[in-house]
Structure 1
């Protein structure tokens, strides 16, 4: 059984290989260059692993690939260029993960995609323009997701309504709302725009979290390098609406030329019962953290609601100062998804 990251040159050059099954292992990530030399590959099965991170352009050399299975893993987010180069892909399975959304542009290169399986994730919101250009799409499985049906799902509802001629009736019927309560189990494709409304906006103080994107609901407020050089202490501000929750993981990313590299996954310890769940302090024990090197931290919280855990996460960028100051300067970055 294999474990750890699927790293560069993991597999020897096998130019005639057409099918590769690496299911039921303990891989934790797929890094760029891991599948070089497999230019004839048609089917790749990475299901039933522990993958939580897909690197930018990890599959870019697989121009003949038509089936990609990433189901039953621990994926919480995808890079916008994660599927770059997969022009021949017809089937993509991301079921049974922890995705809350997909970044805009992540599917734009998949013009031949016929089947997209997103069943049993934690998708709350998804924009219809995500599917722009997928003219060949015939199957879209969004069942078993906790969709919150408000104005942010208007574009997805419009896409589903416009796609009734090519998507199956079963697929459309299974895209249902979990919240709000008065729309529970309602098929999204049957809802009208006046049913998909958002509450009137409320003004907040500059330091208060605002509903909308995850960068407002979970924010990195301060960070310091550990005195012993063994990591960093991160201070997060958490929207009280997310409580109760439990801490899960912190992903650490490092910029490498024109892409980001996932360099560490660290268990996030909340330190037992929280006296103030809106203030979260945690130590990231990762000795390779270097002063002067920029990093981006992705915090994963498991929100406990409705009897089903939902995953909330935020992406922020942090720039370490000099080692003598032993502190990290915070710089906010665009958030990929919404809690």
Structure 2
């Protein structure tokens, strides 16, 4: 809090006093329970707890002190105080004052008048102030630091800080600020640190910060900043060195972002919704040394995205969706010393990503599905020989595949164990024979991709299945990405379907979410079916089909003729909303498949009044209902979507509540009916799910990331590799 920020100031004051007077300072004895109890944890610092008479008792004692026995900082926590009266500490000499009660909503105009000396720091945190006490603060023209955090401030006007021209530090975090009038803060020409964390500020609101040429530190974390971060999203602040934008709703970083921030050295963007870093995104931030992009949705980083950050020392990309560690990410950052990549989807590290010229002191790769084949040989050697990396970092690289190396530390794997393709098949141990490892034959039945469509959100694949393959069950859909002369397994998605449920078993439509695919990249799609309906028997066989290499570009609209589809992800079947009382919504979401309770299965619910977002919540799929209260007057538009992403995206389901329902009479009945409907639907869906699961149940398909060399790309060769993946579980 403010008291901690005063330590340097107090240290200098105490040092100055000790140079002129060697008399040791003694803590004043102020103990009159229950009225007040005080203690000292630092020289010239007095901390007191008491009731509504505490300030009067403390003032009486402090007035009798003379230097060097005086107190520099007084920190009081009092109870049952809602108003700070006039002449609060008249005649008392202080440099810093902090008063908290949790209830103060008004400060008298003359509350700080009559002090024996100029006050340099004032804190009124953890109270209920709804406006800045401008009149009372005008008596403190020398004030250097002001803390009004954890109050109920909603608006800052042009005169809120009138007369405080010497302020260098302003703490306004955890309020309800949504409006900053022009010159409300920018008039503070000497302000160096501004903290606005935990408010309700939009991009339009922060435009009022324009012209703050002395500002060096700005915290806008946990606000309502949404959309792309571009060149003019924030007003240019040429002296700013530290900028915190975490816990907002920023969606991307555009070319030339934050133009005019010519002195910035630290940028924090973690816990946003960033999925794209455009080329030359940071070209205007050449002084940057620290960049935090953790907890976003970044799938890939091109070489041009970070190319201008030649002074960058620390880069955090943990908790994203990166597929590979490539030279594009590391090579341009010639001064990089710390790189954090934990909890991504990294399966490969290219041979040129890290070399003898790369000097990293920290590199973390925990919770990544590394495919420990021959392509990791150079990285394994670099990791073993990197004496600057601590042992704790080197042991974060853990193999996920092949099965023979699963959970093994990469630094402990010998080079001859890192095998690829035919070498692995020939030198690996022979698979055990017997009833636990049946040899599943590959059927000669044909599966051909007839229609490919991409609408910018999802990929639709229409497969033509040879009629004699029925009955069959869907097993998995593999996606391979073309990378140079190789193809890499990008995704392995289990698919549930049964030909007996299809109107025409010869036509199979599968829908793949496009979130993990990159526009313009080239992919091959392979489907695996189980002939015989998925029931283990001597007659069961694998039916394999692969497409050609297809570039991911938007195609024409889907065929008008409806085709049966099997989505690879849980989706919303229905959305029910009931206005149970004015300003209160009961929201119930009906899912197509009843998922097992998993922490990572999320639903996002948003409520709009007019065009304004008034509420947003995340729900677990195992309990898809909520009650949202204290809403403004409707009508409302309620949107729900699967996943941790904006609930107004293309996968959202929305409903408009035209007018509030009177809470009398039918309100309670509607709740009962809605709850009963959801309970009945859940039971039916759960029953359907368990029946289908028993029919199709089989061991889990282990994710693999096998690379293979390009050669003659005939169908037989691709069937061979798909078979290797498809039979892993058997």
Q: In which range does the TM-score fall when normalised by the shorter chain? A: 0.5 to 0.7
Secondary structure of the 2:394 match is helix
Task: Map 1:13-92 onto structure 2 (within 5 A).
Answer: 13-92=236-315
Select which of 243, 246, 249 maps to 2:493. Answer: 243
Match status 1:182 vs 2:422: no
> Residue by residue, what CA displacement relative to the aligned partner does 1:158-208 show, whole Å, maximum 9, x if unpaired?
111221x11111111121111122211211112122100012189xxxxxx
Secondary structure of the 2:513 match is strand
> Residue by residue, what CA displacement relative to the aligned partner does 1:21-76 show, whole Å, maximum 9, x if unpaired?
11000111111022111111000000000111111110122111110000000111
Runs of 4+, deviation exceeding 3 Å: 132-136, 219-225, 231-241, 250-254, 305-311
Secondary structure of the 1:86 match is coil
The structure where helix makes up a greater share of residues is 2
Secondary structure of the 2:416 match is helix
Secondary structure of the 1:155 match is helix
Aligned to 1:152: 375
Match status 1:273 vs 2:566: yes
* Offset of residue 248 of structure 1: 4.8
Moved more, 131-140 or 237-246: 237-246
* Offset of residue 222 of structure 1: 4.9
User: Which whole-Å CA distance do the structure 1 matches of 2:328 and 2:242 have between them?
Assistant: 27
User: Which whole-Å CA distance do the structure 1 matches of 2:450 and 2:393 have between them?
Assistant: 39
Match status 1:173 vs 2:395: yes
Gaps of 5+ in 1: 203-218, 226-230, 255-263, 265-269, 276-283, 286-304, 312-339
CA contact (8 A) 2:402 2:704 kept: no
CA contact (8 A) 1:67 1:91 kept: yes
User: Which whole-Å CA distance do the structure 1 matches of 2:564 and 2:296 have between them?
Assistant: 27
Task: Map 1:314-333 onto structure 2 (within 5 A).
Answer: none
Gaps of 5+ in 2: 1-223, 425-448, 464-476, 480-490, 496-511, 521-553, 555-562, 569-648, 651-698, 706-730
> Residue by residue, what CA displacement relative to the aligned partner does 1:232-282 show, whole Å, maximum 9, x if unpaired?
99655963782316525377869xxxxxxxxx9xxxxx985169xxxxxxx
* Offset of residue 104 of structure 1: 2.8
Match status 1:98 vs 2:282: no
User: Which whole-Å CA distance do the structure 1 matches of 2:240 and 2:513 have between them?
Assistant: 41
The 1:232/1:195 distance shift into structure 2, 3 A limit, reads closer
> Residue by residue, what CA displacement relative to the aligned partner does 1:77-105 show, whole Å, maximum 9, x if unpaired?
11221111111110000000111113433
User: Which whole-Å CA distance do the structure 1 matches of 2:357 and 2:413 have between them?
Assistant: 23
User: Which whole-Å CA distance do the structure 2 matches of 1:95 and 1:25 have between them?
Assistant: 17
Secondary structure of the 2:239 match is coil
Secondary structure of the 1:185 match is coil
CA-based RMSD of the aligned residues comes to 3.8
* Offset of residue 9 of structure 1: 1.7
Aligned to 1:5: 228
* Offset of residue 7 of structure 1: 2.3
Superposition TM-score, scaled by structure 2 size: 0.31
User: Which whole-Å CA distance do the structure 2 matches of 1:190 and 1:162 have between them?
Assistant: 12
CA contact (8 A) 2:295 2:318 kept: yes
* Offset of residue 149 of structure 1: 0.8
The 1:41/1:309 distance shift into structure 2, 3 A limit, reads farther
Secondary structure of the 1:84 match is coil
Moved more, 128-137 or 69-78: 128-137
Structure with max Cα Rg:
2
Q: Which one has more relative contact order, counting CA pairs under 8 Å at least 6 apart?
A: 1
* Offset of residue 134 of structure 1: 5.4
